[in-house]
Structure 1
Amino acid sequence: MPDAPMPRPSIAIIGAGAIGSLLAGLLARAGADVTLVARGARLEALRRDGLRFRDLGGAFTLTVPGALKVTDRLQSPVSVLFLCVKAPALEAALSDNLAGMGPDSRVVPLVNGIPWWFFDDLGHPIHAVDPGGRLFEMVPFDQIVGSVTMMTAGFEADGTVVSTIPHKLALGPTTPNGPRPVDLADVLTAAGIDLDRADHIRPLVWEKLAINLSTNTLSALCGHTLEEIAADPALCARAVAVAAETEHLARAWGCQIAVAAGLPAAMTRAGAFRTSMLQDRLAGRPLELAPIALAPLELAEARAIAMPETTRLLAELQAELVAGLAPPGTPPVQGAQR
């Protein structure tokens, strides 16, 4: 007799921002069993209008309930739990939804910068991203699937989620014996996501960090798009210097990456792209400095690695934030992108 088909995994996505909503839409459109966790006005809008999104495949509206389930809090364990909230809200969001994480659940944090699980071998949390150690305690390391997302999305004024580039995601074990995304891979590829099933996720985390640290912080400081930074010799040199410092830091932690040399061309190709940190600053939201800037500097201190350009850049940005200054020459925008 032929093998019985593998049952569909139940998937929950905590966080109904741009990335969480996009992921929920892609998966639900492909027929996956998806629950999106949202709060407040966002939850009300989803129940009233459904989930509207537009990508390279066209425009779609998913009915709620129907194609997609939404809730303000998970009540029972799911097979896969995606965490799509930014670092400042992660502990509270996870605490509110611990009922969704059972002993067999896989947890996939789609987070920027250095994630809290990155150095489980240290035996203690990275204080910049998990100051009280609650995340370190709440989520068993053997249930975490490491991830690096190259997906981007933003909100239009009417709440439609928009993504204008192909969807790419890398998943892989965080420890040698950690869970691998076997059945989840089929669900994601069916949803139109280009999936890289990495044997070693840490180099990809370091590479994404080098890009985010060098471009997010600088764009938030100067108010420029990536192509504008690439076209300005002084700004471009600062970005390359920060990326080079991150490469040196990664080597000190046993990982070889190469980002700095190709960064100017990558920024030029990105075009008129406003980083998530710039968009957050323009919208008056907290910046993700902890995982993108403070955690790397904490790890640099632990290895006695100097990162002078990164330190200067962060100090300049923090000084402007304390003074309440807006970045020069940029009007406010709607939404946020990764």
Structure 2
Amino acid sequence: MRICVFGAGAIGGLMAAKLAAKGDVEVTVVARGPHLEAMQAQGLTLRSEGNEITVPVRAVASAKEAGPQDYVVVTLKAHSLPGAAEQMQPLLGPETAIVSAVNGIPWWYFFSFGGAHEGRLVESVDPGGIVTRLLPPSRAIGCIVYPAAEVSEPGVIEHTYGDRFTLGEPSGERTPRIQALSEALIAAGFKAPIRPKIRDEIWVKLWGNMAFNPISALTTATLDVVIGDAGQRGVARAMMLEGQEVAQKLGVRFAIDVDKRIAGAAEVGAHKTSMLQDLERGRPMEIDALLGSVVELAELVEVPVPTCRTVLALVRARARAAGCY
């Protein structure tokens, strides 16, 4: 089995290191800069739960060097995908599956969706359909990322918590390709359940991200402060209820209620959201994938989302002012 991690940062590096350590998967990582150079020189180091391993991985600067794969795991930020889709083409053989480990509403969301919305583009994450043209949704396998990790230095991944990558075909089928991927991840030490309704899980994760991320970017507060402050928590809860109505109009079922989801987020503690980290580092922020897409889908199903619209306008303005949008 050949697996390529395209954009091997923290999460991609975590997955690549554990797959490579198992030894029966041919792992390639596409990376750049000092991180690439360190992996080429000394391998990929993973620090997790008090243990440290260093494994050799095939680390390359381009998809052309990597060649066709059985699976391509995409761990990029969503806004990077339209620009990267062309670069990924040499990785794609006739049967290559693209494992979409990207936050937010994915470009393939309405593939195998059925009904009136079948095949609809989500412009917020797939402007003009460029991603759909270059990465056909028929190749996509959904993947919800639950671990937390960071690149502490070039070539070194610090794994903080979590070991689950939930998988799902857009069609809900249990195909041979998703079964084989799940088995490889489980053999590497991850939990990799296959869910028939992957969109339900997409929304449960997005439910928190769509609210906590932009609020934290606006207030520069860590997650515990956002949830502990009555005002910020109230805004987040209002956004989440609006998002829930949108999702339910699209057939999503939530297994937990909004307050339990907020309580779960509170357990993470004094965490800087990814959007706040990007703002502080002057990097593009995942505004459209995490919130712009929700507002777009709200228009589609004719659900008013006034709180989401207000926060979206404000966080876009904040990002523009910081050169991050």
2:82 counterpart of 1:91: yes
Counterpart in 1 of 2:2? 10
| Alignment match of 2:35 (pick from 27, 42, 45) | 42
Between structures 1 and 2, the one with greater helix share: 2
Alpha-carbon contact 1:214-1:242 (below 8 Å) kept:
yes
In the alignment, the residues of structure 2 paired with residue 259 and residue 42 of structure 1 have an alpha-carbon distance, to the nearest angstrom, of 41
Secondary structure in 1 matching 2:4: strand
2:30 counterpart of 1:30: no
Q: What is the CA-CA distance between 1:203 and the residue it aligns to? A: 0.4
Using a 3 Å threshold, how does the CA distance of structure 1 residues 151 and 72 change in structure 2: closer, same or farther? same
In the alignment, the residues of structure 2 paired with residue 187 and residue 292 of structure 1 have an alpha-carbon distance, to the nearest angstrom, of 29
In the alignment, the residues of structure 2 paired with residue 134 and residue 325 of structure 1 have an alpha-carbon distance, to the nearest angstrom, of 24
In the alignment, the residues of structure 1 paired with residue 232 and residue 138 of structure 2 have an alpha-carbon distance, to the nearest angstrom, of 42
Q: What is the CA-CA distance between 1:111 and the residue it aligns to? A: 0.4
Using a 3 Å threshold, how does the CA distance of structure 1 residues 98 and 82 change in structure 2: closer, same or farther? same
In the alignment, the residues of structure 2 paired with residue 104 and residue 323 of structure 1 have an alpha-carbon distance, to the nearest angstrom, of 44
2:208 counterpart of 1:248: no
Counterpart in 2 of 1:108? 99
TM-score (norm 1): 0.87
Counterpart in 2 of 1:312? 310
Q: What is the CA-CA distance between 1:133 and the residue it aligns to? A: 0.8
Q: What is the CA-CA distance between 1:139 and the residue it aligns to? A: 2.4
TM-score (norm 2): 0.91
Secondary structure in 2 matching 1:119: coil
| Alignment match of 1:133 (pick from 124, 129, 132) | 129
Secondary structure in 2 matching 1:118: coil
Q: What is the count of residue pairs matched by the alignment?
A: 314
Alpha-carbon contact 1:210-1:246 (below 8 Å) kept:
yes
Alpha-carbon contact 1:77-1:100 (below 8 Å) kept:
yes
Alpha-carbon contact 1:144-1:178 (below 8 Å) kept:
no
Q: How does 1:46-195 map onto structure 2 within 5 Å?
A: 46-56=39-49, 58-62=51-55, 67-75=56-64, 76-120=67-111, 121=113, 122=117, 123-157=119-153, 160-176=156-172, 179=175, 180-195=177-192
Gaps of 5+ in 1: 1-8, 327-338
Q: How does 1:211-290 map onto structure 2 within 5 Å?
A: 211-257=208-254, 258-290=256-288
Kindly provide the CA deviation profile for residues 85-116 of structure 1, in whole angstroms up to 9, marking residues without a partner as x.
11222123231121211111111010000000
Using a 3 Å threshold, how does the CA distance of structure 1 residues 18 and 176 change in structure 2: closer, same or farther? closer
Kindly provide the CA deviation profile for residues 204-236 of structure 1, in whole angstroms up to 9, marking residues without a partner as x.
011111111011111111111111122111111
Deviates more, 1:202-211 or 1:114-123: 114-123
Alpha-carbon contact 1:151-1:165 (below 8 Å) kept:
yes
Alpha-carbon contact 1:229-1:267 (below 8 Å) kept:
no
Kindly provide the CA deviation profile for residues 100-143 of structure 1, in whole angstroms up to 9, marking residues without a partner as x.
11111111010000000001253342111010212111223332
Secondary structure in 1 matching 2:40: helix
Kindly provide the CA deviation profile for residues 179-205 of structure 1, in whole angstroms up to 9, marking residues without a partner as x.
451111121012111112111111001
Kindly provide the CA deviation profile for residues 227-271 of structure 1, in whole angstroms up to 9, marking residues without a partner as x.
112211111111111111111110111112244121332232111
Secondary structure in 1 matching 2:160: coil
In the alignment, the residues of structure 1 paired with residue 196 and residue 10 of structure 2 have an alpha-carbon distance, to the nearest angstrom, of 28
In the alignment, the residues of structure 2 paired with residue 195 and residue 239 of structure 1 have an alpha-carbon distance, to the nearest angstrom, of 30
2:205 counterpart of 1:197: no
Partner amino acid for 1:78? Answer: Q
Secondary structure in 1 matching 2:37: helix
In the alignment, the residues of structure 1 paired with residue 94 and residue 238 of structure 2 have an alpha-carbon distance, to the nearest angstrom, of 44
Q: What is the CA-CA distance between 1:57 and the residue it aligns to? A: 5.7
Q: Percentage identity across aligned positions? A: 32
In the alignment, the residues of structure 1 paired with residue 139 and residue 19 of structure 2 have an alpha-carbon distance, to the nearest angstrom, of 21
In the alignment, the residues of structure 2 paired with residue 322 and residue 80 of structure 1 have an alpha-carbon distance, to the nearest angstrom, of 36
Q: How does 1:296-335 map onto structure 2 within 5 Å?
A: 296-324=294-322
Deviates more, 1:39-48 or 1:28-37: 39-48
Using a 3 Å threshold, how does the CA distance of structure 1 residues 30 and 259 change in structure 2: closer, same or farther? farther
In the alignment, the residues of structure 2 paired with residue 249 and residue 191 of structure 1 have an alpha-carbon distance, to the nearest angstrom, of 37
Secondary structure in 1 matching 2:128: coil
In the alignment, the residues of structure 2 paired with residue 193 and residue 57 of structure 1 have an alpha-carbon distance, to the nearest angstrom, of 17
In the alignment, the residues of structure 1 paired with residue 182 and residue 204 of structure 2 have an alpha-carbon distance, to the nearest angstrom, of 22
Alpha-carbon contact 1:155-1:161 (below 8 Å) kept:
yes
Gaps of 5+ in 2: none
Deviates more, 1:252-261 or 1:110-119: 252-261
In the alignment, the residues of structure 1 paired with residue 257 and residue 130 of structure 2 have an alpha-carbon distance, to the nearest angstrom, of 33
Q: Supply the RMSD in Å over aligned alpha carbons.
A: 1.9
